[in-house]
Amino acid sequence: MSRHVLVVSILLSLAAALPAATVASDAPSMLPLAGGNRWVLRDPALGGTRSISITRGPSGLVLHGVPGAADLRVRAAGRAVEAWDSASRRWEPFLRLGAAQGTTYAVDLAGTSFWRSLVVKVDSRRTVMFDARGKALRNCVRLTFAARKPIADAGLEELVFAPGIGFARTTEQTIAGPRVHLLAAYKLS
């Protein structure tokens, strides 16, 4: 066996032994980050809509319309999204969409009402859901939320992201009960 073939064989053996998430760098993005991207989500019970969008500003990408947050300056960090915390003057973990199922992490964005002192859990990496038109979206990432400082009768319960699409479902707790918004339309730049 030539030296080249031996080295390739060893590298392939090592790659096979690694967890799939470590090797799969070509996995589809769960939240495509680009100026001009837009998602419209519809409340099937009440009929209202919510719009989430990304614009490109002078200091980078800005995410608009995320429940519980004002406009957020964001950037990609591997298979995660970080948000700029202007009070702390640093990038903070925001959406760890590439993390393993069961992973929990803290988000503490001082300039927001909800995303301050929050525990996020990657609840599932294989959620199957139906959008507002009844189309099945598979292998979605479902994030769930728990406030470290309880918020009475309010707060974000879950965000679901579809591969190659992005925002697919939001669920918020309101005084009137859970409010769900499902993906109705999207445009990616």
10 is a domain residue: no
The answer to whether position 11 is within a domain reads: no
Instruction: Note whether residue 72 is domain-resident.
Output: yes
Instruction: Mark residue 68 as left, alpha or beta (left: phi above 0; alpha: psi -120 to 50; beta: remaining).
Output: left
Number of domains the chain is built from: 1
CA 2 distance to own-chain centroid? 46
Q: Residue 67's domain is classified under what CATH number?
A: 2.40.360
Q: Domain range spanning residue 38?
A: 28-187
- Does residue 154 form part of some domain? yes
In a domain, 129, yes or no: yes
Apex 130 CA angle, 128 and 136, nearest 5: 65
Residue-level pLDDT, tens digit, the chain, 189 residues? 444 433 334 333 433 333 333 333 333 489 999 999 999 999 999 999 999 999 999 999 999 999 888 899 999 998 899 999 988 899 999 999 999 999 999 999 987 778 888 899 999 999 999 999 999 999 999 999 988 766 656 678 999 999 999 999 999 988 878 899 999 999 999
Is 23 contained in some domain?
A: no
pTM: 0.83
What's residue 174's pLDDT?
81
CA 132/CA 183 separation, integer angstroms = 6
pLDDT score of 153: 61
CA–CA distances in Å: residue 95 to residues 59, 80, 103, 158: 20, 6, 12, 12
Structure tokens of 153? 């009768």
The answer as to whether 21 is a domain residue is no
The answer to whether the beta carbons of residues 48 and 174 sit under 8 Å apart is: no
Residues 131 and 122 sit within 8 Å (Cβ to Cβ): no
Domain-embedded: residue 12: no
d(CA 165, CA 111) in angstroms, rounded, equals 28
pLDDT, position 151: 60
Cβ–Cβ < 8 Å for 180, 158: no
Q: Alpha helix locations (H) across the chain?
A: 3-17, 20-23
